[in-house]
Chain A
Amino acid sequence: MDIRKRRYALVIDSRKCINCKACVVACKAENGVPIGNFRNWITADRQGEYPKLRIDFEPEQCHHCEHPSCVRVCPTGASWQRKDGVVLVYADDCIGCRYCMVACPYDARYFHEESGTVHKCTLCSHRVDKGEVPACVETCPSKVRVFGDLEDPSSRLHELLATRRHHVKEPQTGNGPQLYYLL
């Protein structure tokens, strides 16, 4: 087994996002997300007056933070983080108290009515562990998301972070989010 250290993250080039929703539907299928719930979504910021207008789209999902507040507040340890940074919920231990939903600065979790537990983006860890990329990354027509390993200096992700200006959202929370948005 490969024991090299990994740290997964996403770089997001929002300017290329055309709000086509392919990522949202791909996630829905891949992860069996119920109607009315979403593990990822796209925000639209519309500004200006006719004819001087702009729209900025931004894909959103769990930021798989370095110091995830959702994990800290979980009373049972159901919310946990893998060594490679992926934040998950262990359904068997989740009591559905939803503290994590309140603690998440990105509102990235939802309560799954049928199972009575909290669900969220798993970064498609079941695909990633097989060497594939997350469904949202793969299906995107304009390739907005770049998935990769921060510990791998030869990755495209590494190159983008080294050469392009970027920012993270809500850095003041101290969560250390790992979704890097290119400027």
Chain B
Amino acid sequence: MGTKLMDRRLFLKATGATAGAAASLQVGCLSYFKKGRSGPVDRREVPTTCELCPNKCSAIAVVEYGLVKKLNPNPENPKSRDMLCARGNAAIKQVYDPDRLKQPMIRVGARGEGKWKPVSWDEAFDFAAKKLAEVKEKHGPQASLWSSTEGFQEVFFKNLGLAFGSPNTVRHPTLCLASVNLAYSMTFGTVPSFDLLNSRYVIMSGANRFESIITPDTMDLIGGVMERKAKLIYLDPRFTVTASKADEWYPIKPGTDLAFILAMIHVIIKENRHSKDFVAAYTTGFDQLVEHVKPYTPEWAEKETEIPAKDILRIAREFADAAPRSLYYAGRRSSWYQNDFQMRRAQAILNAIVGNWDQVGGMVPNAKLPKGEFLFMPWDEPKAPRVDEIDKHFPLAAKGDGVYLKLRENVLAGTPYPIKAWMVYKQDPMNAMPDQAKTLKMIEGMDFIAVIDVAMSDMAWYADVVFPESAYLERTDPVEVMAGIWPAVVYRQQVVKPIHDTKPNLEIVQGLAKRLGLSDYFDFTIEQWVDAEFKELPIPMAAEHMKKHGVWAASGQPSYGKTLTPDHRFVTKTGKIEIFSERLKEAGQDPLPVYASPVQPPNDRFRLILGRVGYFTHANQSNNVWLNEFMKENDLWINPKPAARLGIANGSTVSVTSSVGTVKLKARVTEEIRPDCVFMLHGFGKKSKMQSLVYNVGASDAVILETAWDKVSGNAAFHETFVKVTNA
């Protein structure tokens, strides 16, 4: 009896403290909740697809008494295998986060002041539609900008922008992986996967796979290194977790990876270790490469990279000997240097000449699966040219994604025409883009800003209206085909009903479309959309299967070597793997990667480098209470030698200054970084008070990062900022 009373007291305490907001019920008190009830536990399991990062892992949500209690990994997904990382597990706290956006809000104070008026959905839609109509009336539909980050419902947002008449949709790739994607596409006509499950020899430049988790690569690599005797060579100015697991770690001089790769190619060609049959059958431009790499000797590369020539020589030999089960791993976030595209091109060429294409343990072109399409009413193509002038400046880049930093420069300059409305979905340009002061300036120039998000990001904090999106566990989303070595289809279905007055993005888009006279283009429900997609999946009883399992994987072993037939045409200009690229030459770029020594920081400065940890990827994750526990504040990594010279003690507060800004944060004096670099983690120092765990805690890298980009892909170059560090 005593315990029962106690349980009731605890239960009342837990609920009463949150003023009856059932939503804020902590999952932790569920056990008390349960005890007070009689009969069997009200429990169900719903398969769904994680949205905390772009990996799209399959999860099974356990729901008890209407609350998400646990997310278990779903072993049916061949990409996420049978795991769920810390972020995936913490998705529960995205739903029950007291900081969440709970209803639409219209700004009442100055931008960024944080004064909001909760409004009805009708009011919010009317307000936004009126503002958008005003901008269209005054400046034309092209004066609106539509920014978004990948997600299953992103398509609706992007389509609204296009249907509204704006060509200016801009997506995340040029802040992330545009250079690596373009480099492999320009060489092989496609971006392949890397078969780490079967590879015997892996070289990685900075792709910190044991902290920047990518499925299935992270799991395959740890198994390879620790169980299957694969060798891992790792190049990084910082001693990351990946470095700690590698067979060999080289703290390469930043920005010189291209020299290392060119020297490897030099050795392999000079010693005749390339795959002659493969090169003859499938590639073009090898002869030009032979001449091109002659000056790039290991001795030369040692001076550039600080990696001993004898090691470069040995690694090149080992790499060629292990082929085709060897790979130079491409990596994902490739926004590093202004030569990034050419560095990735050199990797692609190195991989090509040892013949690891479409081989077990090498690079494998992605297998795809068909999916149905919902046929919606098409709109007229927007007439205006893009504001980022992508055709003129980056003719080779992916058009639909846009080029973010060039776009911001043009918007700030008002050329070729003004942008006056900024619509944002699921993205935080305040933290995703470098040079936050410039982003703030861009915000100042807007007549109207609307943000659709789950939480009050820094971008939302500066908006005029915020539309609260339902969390992924509260939504049903379009079906996604995941191409890869082990292709699969994943489905995200609603696990629990929205606990606040939120809507899925499609309904937000429809609310706006209705008021903008664009309803005809969005005249469907998510169920109709999904049903159309189900119809052409190669799965018997597709709808039933996907609802029951959440994932479907093509059975059988992956097929290697499908492209290794004499009549196969690669999707390149010549139909071959292009070592020498005529298209690059025509576009005025180096047709083979040419090395130029990167500018190094002067004596009193450091190069700022970025990276991730396993439990934070995006800027929004540091405010997740279960993840924040592992790191409450970010700090500045600095090597003990320069720290001693500057009188900086571990844990003391330092000022970090670049040409565009200053931040203050604590110093972490650590041996685990080169003396000429400093490092800080992304996602702290928030301006939004509704990111309460990280508001004004630590510092945002976006404040001090300078604007620079790769000249071919337009990808942001995040490792080109030199900073001064002083005791604060």
Known contacts A29-B71, A50-B671; is-contact A139 B89 (Cβ 8 Å): yes
Known contacts A18-B210, A34-B28, A48-B671; is-contact A25 B226 (Cβ 8 Å): no
In this assembly, does A183 line the interface, its C-beta being within 8 Å of a C-beta of chain B? no
Q: Which of A19, A29, A54, A142 contacts B27 (CB 8 A)?
A: A29
Q: Which residues 216-232 in B have Cβ within 8 Å of A in the complex?
A: 218-219, 222-223, 226-227
A92–B86 contact, CB under 8 A? no
In this assembly, does A30 line the interface, its C-beta being within 8 Å of a C-beta of chain B? yes
Report A31-46 CB contacts with B as 1/0, cut-off 8 Å.
0111110000000001
Known contacts A18-B222, A54-B244; is-contact A29 B614 (Cβ 8 Å): no
A50–B28 contact, CB under 8 A? no
Q: List, in ascending order, chain B residues with CB within 8 A of A138's CB.
A: 72-73, 82
Q: Which residues 617-639 in B have Cβ within 8 Å of A in the complex?
A: 625-627, 629-630, 639
Shortest Cβ distance from B26 into A: residue = A32
- Complex: A46 Cα to B640 Cα, angstroms: 15
A20–B251 contact, CB under 8 A? no
B222–A142 contact, CB under 8 A? yes
In this assembly, does B451 line the interface, its C-beta being within 8 Å of a C-beta of chain A? no
Q: List, in ascending order, chain B residues with CB within 8 A of A46's CB.
A: 671-672
In this assembly, does A162 line the interface, its C-beta being within 8 Å of a C-beta of chain B? no
Nearest Cβ on chain A to B724's Cβ, whole angstroms? 22
B84–A13 contact, CB under 8 A? no
A32–B28 contact, CB under 8 A? yes
Q: Which of B14, B85, B672, B674 contacts A22 (CB 8 A)?
A: B85
In this assembly, does B705 line the interface, its C-beta being within 8 Å of a C-beta of chain A? no
B86–A29 contact, CB under 8 A? no
Report B225-253 CB contacts with A as 1/0, cut-off 8 Å.
01100000000000101011100010100
Known contacts A22-B89, A25-B90; is-contact A35 B629 (Cβ 8 Å): yes
In this assembly, does A2 line the interface, its C-beta being within 8 Å of a C-beta of chain B? no
In this assembly, does B372 line the interface, its C-beta being within 8 Å of a C-beta of chain A? no
Nearest Cβ on chain B to A45's Cβ, whole angstroms? 11
A53–B213 contact, CB under 8 A? no
Q: List, in ascending order, chain B residues with CB within 8 A of A20's CB.
A: 85-86, 210-211, 213, 614-615
B28–A26 contact, CB under 8 A? no
B28–A55 contact, CB under 8 A? no
Report A94-137 CB contacts with B as 1/0, cut-off 8 Å.
00000000000000000000110000000000000000000100
Q: Which of A50, A92, A139, A143 contacts B3 (CB 8 A)?
A: A92
Q: List, in ascending order, chain B residues with CB within 8 A of A139's CB.
A: 72-73, 83-85, 89
Q: Which residues 59-110 in A have Cβ within 8 Å of B in the complex?
A: 91-92
In this assembly, does B675 line the interface, its C-beta being within 8 Å of a C-beta of chain A? yes
Total chain B interface residues with beta-carbon distance under 8 A: 56
B626–A28 contact, CB under 8 A? yes
Interface size class of A (residues with CB under 8 A): 35 or more
- Complex: A35 Cα to B14 Cα, angstroms: 14
Nearest Cβ on chain B to A56's Cβ, whole angstroms? 8
A25–B27 contact, CB under 8 A? no
Nearest Cβ on chain B to A175's Cβ, whole angstroms? 28
Pair count A-B, CB < 8 A: 130
- Complex: A135 Cα to B70 Cα, angstroms: 9
Nearest Cβ on chain A to B272's Cβ, whole angstroms? 33
In this assembly, does A16 line the interface, its C-beta being within 8 Å of a C-beta of chain B? yes
Q: Which of A32, A36, A141 contacts B83 (CB 8 A)?
A: A141
In this assembly, does B69 line the interface, its C-beta being within 8 Å of a C-beta of chain A? yes
Q: List, in ascending order, chain B residues with CB within 8 A of A142's CB.
A: 218-219, 222-223, 226
Q: List, in ascending order, chain B residues with CB within 8 A of A28's CB.
A: 89, 626
Q: List, in ascending order, chain A residues with CB within 8 A of B627's CB.
A: 21, 25
A30–B239 contact, CB under 8 A? no
Q: List, in ascending order, chain B residues with CB within 8 A of A24's CB.
A: 86, 630
Most buried by B among A29, A34, A54, A114: A29
Nearest Cβ on chain B to A22's Cβ, whole angstroms? 5
In this assembly, does A161 line the interface, its C-beta being within 8 Å of a C-beta of chain B? no
Nearest Cβ on chain A to B202's Cβ, whole angstroms? 15
- Complex: A114 Cα to B15 Cα, angstroms: 13
Shortest Cβ distance from B216 into A: residue = A141
In this assembly, does A6 line the interface, its C-beta being within 8 Å of a C-beta of chain B? no
B244–A26 contact, CB under 8 A? no
- Taking A29-B90, A139-B83 as given, write out 17 further A-B residue pairs in contact, using a Cβ cutoff of 8 Å, ordered by the A residue number: A18-B211, A18-B222, A18-B614, A22-B83, A26-B84, A29-B70, A29-B626, A50-B673, A50-B675, A53-B671, A55-B239, A115-B10, A135-B70, A135-B72, A139-B84, A141-B222, A142-B218
* Those 6 A-B pairs whose CB atoms lie nearest each other, nearest first: A20-B614, A32-B28, A25-B89, A21-B86, A141-B83, A18-B210
B contact set with A: CB distance below 8 Å: 3, 6, 10, 13-14, 26-31, 69-73, 81-86, 88-90, 92, 210-211, 213, 218-219, 222-223, 226-227, 239, 241, 243-245, 249, 251, 614-615, 625-627, 629-630, 639-640, 671-675
27 A-B interface contacts by CB (under 8 A): A16-B222, A16-B223, A19-B241, A20-B211, A21-B630, A22-B85, A25-B90, A26-B84, A29-B71, A32-B26, A32-B29, A35-B625, A35-B626, A36-B629, A46-B671, A50-B251, A50-B640, A50-B675, A51-B239, A53-B249, A55-B239, A55-B672, A138-B73, A140-B83, A141-B85, A142-B223, A142-B226
